[in-house]
Structures are given as structure tokens and as C-alpha cells.
Structure 1
């Protein structure tokens, strides 16, 4: 039960940050897709950096256990194309469509209905996909530190520094 409560609290906090960062706005979404406004890129990268440091810090303290999913290029490529197509057509990604609906934007309902239909369709075609697309480029449960044969902090620290450098560059050369 506590895991569900933690998930709910984390989701509420994330929704709060989505709203405060103004990334739920349709115009921000389209400007990001057109590379005219980097607010959403900076928002996503900052959350990735914080989550990466936080999860591995908790892991090192023995408070969490990692559950690495297999790297399957076929699924990643097809899923990424479908995700990008839906985002480009609708102007919302799944998380922002829920947040936008919470702000009263009824056009986000199309995104939510699309997510539900997509999940149902995926469940129906999963037996076929598991024998085809989900076998293409299956590298198993790997991480960059494992591939490089180094401690995870030797990957995390340069990535966080790179994100910081990108933020600095984007602020200096805002599109």
C-alpha cells in the first residue's frame, strides 16, 4: 500500500512541476517540436538528471532495487516512432495530455483516448509482436555502466555535467 501512496505522491508532485513549468501548454509543445522553444527539452533533461542521481543514490544506500528492462531495439524504434507521431499530431505527449485535461483543455481527451486505444491494441497484437518486432535487436538487460565496465557514477557525473553545459548553451543561444 505504501508503494501506491508513494507513486500517487510522486505523480502529484510531477504534475505540479509540469503545470508550474508551463509545459502543459499546447503552444509550448508545438514550439518544442519545431525547435523554437527549448523549455520542454530543459524540463525533461532536468528531470532525467535529478532522477538519475536520486535513483542511483538510493540504490547505493540499499533503499531501492533496480529493475532494468531489456534493451530491444525493434520495440524502442517502433514505439518511439508511434510516440513521436502521436505527439506531433496532437501536440501533447501522454503525461502532458493528462495534465492539460486537468487544466481544462478538452482537446487533450483525444490524447488520452489514443493512449487507451493504443494500450488495448498493443495487448491484442502482443502475441504477434513478441515473435517479431520484440525480438529485433534484443540486447538483454544492460546499462551503460555495464557496457563500459565502469562504476555507474563514472557515467552519471559526465551526463549531468553535459546536461548542465547544454542548459548553459541553450540559455546563451535560445532559439
Structure 2
């Protein structure tokens, strides 16, 4: 009886080893196919979406759908970006979606920006006058179709808002219309207010 039990145990063990060896390997890195592209992204946007330079946006923790739409708009020429266009023109929809998913899954970082209190107050008043919370929500963290602004790079925010105002960036006509109602000083204050969050 002991011999039979040992044989059964060995047979089961052997079967389990065979199953483990013959099963397809499960990749621990679901982003393996876009690693090279992510390395290119890191040149400006930093590893995991936190850029070293404040002129580039934080992508880590940004909304998935928003990132995807921006990449798609750049690819289709609906959003102009001399820097981004050469990178995205050859990427397919699957890759754009994988990039958006990767960055949206990263933790939103805290930047160490402290705005001038007087300018921040002016920015808060401008945000209230523009009813920015209607789209970006009270915490300015956005939702699937609206970007997070709280804690974003102020220099990037200022340039983006000015680009909307000057009709350089046209992929959101409502945003262009809203920004044209603000002075450049209001826009600078808004950027400090949002970056300070």
C-alpha cells in the first residue's frame, strides 16, 4: 500500500511538473511590446510620466481616455505639436491605447511647487469666474474626458491655456473660447493656482 501511495504521489508530482513546463509563459510585463516607445516618451515626460522639466506635462495618473484622445488628436493633426507629431504618426491605435493605459495607471506625483500666495488667490478668483469646476470638478482632478489640472506643471498649464487663447491649440473650441475671456495675467495666475494644489 505504501508503494502505491508513493507511485501516485510521484505520478501527480510528475504531472504537475509537466503542466508547469508546457503551459505558455505568462508575461509579468504587459507593456513589454511598448517598452521601446515608453523609453522614447521618457525623454520628455520622464520615467513613469513625471518629467524633469516643467515645460512638459505630468502624464502619471492622468485620465486614460484624455491621454488617448490627445495622442489620437496629435496623430490626426487635430492638435498641433511639433515635438509629438513625429513620435505618434507611426503608432497604431492599440499602441496609443496601451500608452494611455500605462500612464494612467501610474500614481499621480506631488510636485514641489509653491506659488506666490497673492497670485494663487488671483488664480482662484479667475477659476471661480470661469467656472472651471463645472468640467474639471471641485478638486480639479478631472474625469475620464477632462484632464486633471490639480498639481500639474504650472509652466505647462500656462503655455497650454495661452495656446488655446491664441487659437494655436484648436482641439477644444470651448476651451479656446473660455481662455480668450481671460487676460494673460489671469492665465498666469490660474496656472500658479492649479500647480499649487
Q: Which is higher, the Rg of structure 1 or of structure 2?
A: 2
Structure with a larger share of its residues in helix:
1
Structure 1 length-normalised TM: 0.25
Larger relative contact order (CA 8 Å, sep ≥ 6): 1
